[in-house]
Amino acid sequence: MNRLSYRVEQNESPTENKPALADMLNENSIADFKVNLRGRLIQPSDNDYDEARKVYNGMIHKEPRLIARCADVADVINSVNFARENGLLVAIRGGGHNAGGLGICDDGLVIDLGSIKYTRVDPAARTVTVGGGCTWGDVDHATHVFGMATPSGIISTTGVGGLTLGGGIGHLTRKCGLSIDYLLSADVVLANGEFVKTCSGRFAVAAEISAWSLRLRSSCI
C-alpha cells in the first residue's frame, strides 16, 4: 500500500505525456543487444517486468526502459557499451538494497548483476572471491563453514558490492573495521567499456578504483 500511494503522488501527469529519451531507441538496436546477451533482456511488455524492477525500498517506483540480467562480464561490457552508444541513463543493481533506490532508474537501462552469483573460499589464504550479484548472506554461508568471517552489514540480503564500496558498517566493525578495509581486488568495467582488474591489496583497492574513475572522467571532459 505504501508503494501504491507513493506512485499516485509522484505520477501527477499521465505516463504517455512524460518525455523519455528511451522512446528514441531503435528497435533494431535493442534486438541486436538482446541477441548478444547471454542473460535476459527484460522490457515493459514482459510478464515479469514489474517483479524485475522491484527493489528493497517499497516506496521506490521507477520504470526502466530495459533491464539487462547479466550472466557474465561479457554481458556487463555489452550493456555498458549499449547504454553509452544510445545515451541511456544507467543504474547498476547488485542486491537492490540501496535505500535511495540507486539500483533502478526511470527510462534508462538497469544492469542487473543478480545472476552473477558465486563464492570461492580459499581457506589457506583466508580469502573469499564473490560475484557481483552476491549478497552478504551468500558470503556468510560460504565462509562460516571454514570458521571465517569478513566485516559485512546488518541485513543478509544486502549486496556485497554496494555495501563494500559504500564503506560497509556491520556487527564486526568495532573490532575489525569496515568491509572495504578487507577488499583485496576487484574486477571493474569502466564507463567506456574497458575491463580493468585492481590488485593493489588491502586498503588500496578503493583508491585505485577512484583513480580509474577520475582518469576516465578527465578523458571525457
Q: What percent of the chain has pLDDT over 70?
A: 79
Query: What average pLDDT does range 4-14 have in this prediction?
Result: 38
pLDDT at 10: 41
Highest mean pLDDT among 87-91, 97-101, 181-185 belongs to 87-91
> Residue 215 above 70 pLDDT?
no
Tens of pLDDT, residue by residue over 162-207, are 998 888 999 999 999 999 888 888 898 988 999 988 876 655 666 6
pLDDT at 203: 54
Cell matching residue 98: 540501496
Tens of pLDDT, residue by residue over 126-138, are 999 999 999 999 9
- 2-112 belongs to which CATH class? alpha beta
Which value, in Å, is the radius of gyration of the alpha carbons in the chain? 19
Question: Which one has a higher pLDDT value, 46 or 11?
Answer: 46
Distance CA 143, CA 138 (A): 9
pLDDT at 198: 81
> Residue 36 above 60 pLDDT?
yes
pLDDT band at 2 (very low <50, low <70, confident <90, very high): very low
pLDDT at 121: 96
Q: How many CA atoms lie within 13 A of 157 on its CB side?
A: 7
> What are the domain boundaries of the chain?
2-112, 119-220
Q: What are phi and psi of 109, to 5 degrees?
A: -115, 125
* N- to C-terminal Cα separation, the chain: 44
Q: How many CA atoms lie within 13 A of 107 on its CB side?
A: 13
Q: Show the 3-state SS of the chain.
A: CHHHHHHHHHCCCCHHHCCCHHHHCCHHHHHHHHHCCCCEEECCCCCCHHHHCCCCCCCCCCCCCEEEECCCHHHHHHHHHHHHHCCCCEEEECCCCCCCCCCCCCCCEEEECCCCCCEEEECCCCEEEECCCCEHHHHHHHHHCCCCCCCCCCCCCCEHHHHHHCCCCCCCHHHHCCHHHHCCCEEEECCCCCEEEECCCCCCHHHHHHHHHHHHHHHHC
Task: Identify whether the C-beta of residue 107 lies closer than 8 Å to the C-beta of residue 65.
Answer: yes
Task: Share the mean pLDDT of the chain.
Answer: 83
- 119-220 belongs to which CATH class? alpha beta
